[in-house]
Amino acid sequence: MLDFEKFVKYSRPGPRYTSYPTAVEFSEDFPYERYIEKLENQESTKPLSLYFHLPFCRSACYFCGCNVVFTAKEEKKERYIDYLLREMEILRKHLDTEREVIQLHFGGGTPTFFSPQQLQTVIDAIKQVFPNWSADAEVSCEIDPRFLTEEHMQVLAQGGFNRVSFGVQDFDERVQQAVHRIQSFEVTKNAVDLARKYGMQSVNIDLIYGLPFQTLESFKRTLEKTLQLDPDRLAVFNYAHVPWLKKTMRKIDETTLPSPDVKLAILKYTIDFFTSHGYKMIGMDHFAKPEDELFKAIEKGELHRNFQGYTTKGGADLIGIGLTSIGEGEDYYAQNYKEMDAYEAAIDAGKLPYHRGVELSEDDKIRKAVIMELMANFKLDIPRIEKQFGIDFRSYFADALEALKEFEEQELLHISEKAIEVSPTGTLLIRNIVMPFDAYMKKHGEGKKVFSKTV
């Protein structure tokens, strides 16, 4: 095992690669009319993955990087649902909504900040617009345990939801106060118990390391408590401190943030802790029980990565619905307006609330295939990429392979004629390892405030 202290030198700004090109490259150069053409492509028989953004929260969690609207007004939520339903009706005119749905995700904000009746209205409308569902569809919802009732869970279960993800971040009271999110262990346990009672197949818990006042000792206590909840999956994210993008992050005192070496100590301990308690590391920040389908997928090299994280459901067209949602087709990304006024104005005009995106060039598609394969499965089948795109890999990626020599010398990966294989230690630096394949990184440079740090 490599000395973790050496990892600190790799702490540099870099994307998380939930997409390639990343959202930084989205622009209005990919026009509305072209996006509509993509949606109306009748040749596409791919199944559908649906993402619904339910953006409201009562108050700000200072660590949050999501696009959120803070409100306590019921009429704002009712108004949003009305526009969401109208957006689906416009979408129906441009997309074959009879295609099979294999994935649905409610993200936020706090989806359960909506009332059970409001969620029921949205779910009923979705089923009406998209009537054809796979028998093994992944249907998931992000949940803040502080805003969850048994009636919420009943509505989700009856609506076909089979996966839930609970935001926890940290159980330490001092950390919770610093990030403005007070959430007791008991509240979280009650939420997990409800998920079990209503037959959720998979319960995920989100933790974050790198938050104010976190120490190795304090995070150990959080891990012990988390283990008591017996989740099927865990996501342990590196806190992305980007106060130039998120105003609420400016409320965090940067002098209280743990140093890169403390963060690495936390990460190393977290990996050892969960792997010694029967979990397997999946992707760059996830853990799952061996019987979980995510673990089975990575064993077969069939894990995929998208805006919702890691999934076993690849090969679908992702349709983003709601404020700021992002969709993904074979050769494009499309994002809705981030501002509510613009979102509503587009729908009032009978148009989809599309704002910006990017159409992928052939080079983008090649690099996306390489980056996403490495991000998801930590291994790249070189002959398969050569055959798929008709390239000579070594000449096409000569610069990237040169840059990877340093990682190979550190035994973080191995490059052979047929594969690039990332070592177990190298997986911790997977963002750094794929960055040489990113043609856009040179444009942003080291100093520009665009991305969070990789370590």
In this structure, the answer to whether residues 78 and 207 fall within a common structural domain is yes
Confirm whether 212 is domain-assigned.
Answer: yes
CB burial readout 280-315, b (16+ within 10 A) else e: bbbbbbbbbbeebbbbebbeeeebbbbbbbbbbbee
In this structure, the answer to whether residues 276 and 402 fall within a common structural domain is no
Structure token digits, residue 168: 């926890």
Give the three-class secondary structure for 62: coil
* CA separation for the pair 138, 303 (Å, rounded): 14
* CA separation for the pair 41, 96 (Å, rounded): 9
In this structure, the answer to whether residues 313 and 399 fall within a common structural domain is no
CATH code: domain of residue 412? 1.10.10.920
| pLDDT tens, per residue, the chain with 455 residues | 445 556 666 666 667 788 899 888 999 999 999 999 999 986 778 999 999 999 988 777 878 777 777 777 889 999 999 999 999 999 999 999 999 999 999 998 889 999 999 999 999 999 999 999 999 999 999 999 999 999 999 999 999 999 999 999 999 999 999 998 999 999 999 999 999 999 999 999 999 999 999 999 999 999 999 999 999 999 998 888 888 877 888 888 889 999 888 988 898 899 999 999 999 888 778 899 988 888 877 777 777 777 767 777 778 999 999 999 999 999 999 999 999 999 999 999 999 999 999 999 999 999 999 999 998 888 999 999 999 999 999 999 999 999 999 999 988 999 999 999 999 888 878 889 999 999 998 776 554 555 556 55
For residue 269, with 0-12 CB atoms within 10 Å meaning exposed, 13-18 middle and 19 or more buried, which class applies?
A: middle
In this structure, the answer to whether residues 33 and 109 fall within a common structural domain is yes
Backbone phi and psi for residue 135, each to the nearest 5 degrees, phi listed first:
-65, -30
For residue 448, with 0-12 CB atoms within 10 Å meaning exposed, 13-18 middle and 19 or more buried, which class applies?
A: exposed
In this structure, the answer to whether residues 244 and 123 fall within a common structural domain is yes
* CA separation for the pair 427, 287 (Å, rounded): 13
Confirm whether 302 is domain-assigned.
Answer: yes
pLDDT digits (tens, 9 = 90+) for 247-277: 888 888 889 999 888 988 898 899 999 999 9
Confirm whether 180 is domain-assigned.
Answer: yes
Contact 156, 119 (CB under 8 A): yes
Contact 135, 162 (CB under 8 A): no
Contact 101, 137 (CB under 8 A): yes
Q: Residue 333 forms beta bridges with which residues?
A: 328, 358
Q: Which domain holds residue 386?
A: 362-455
CATH code: domain of residue 287? 3.30.750.200
Please say which residue of 297, 321, 345 terminates a domain.
321
In this structure, the answer to whether residues 391 and 303 fall within a common structural domain is no
In this structure, the answer to whether residues 168 and 305 fall within a common structural domain is yes
Q: Residue 233 forms beta bridges with which residues?
A: 204, 288
Please say which residue of 291, 321, 351 terminates a domain.
321
Per this entry, what is the length of the chain? 455
Confirm whether 105 is domain-assigned.
Answer: yes
Please say which residue of 321, 349, 370 terminates a domain.
321
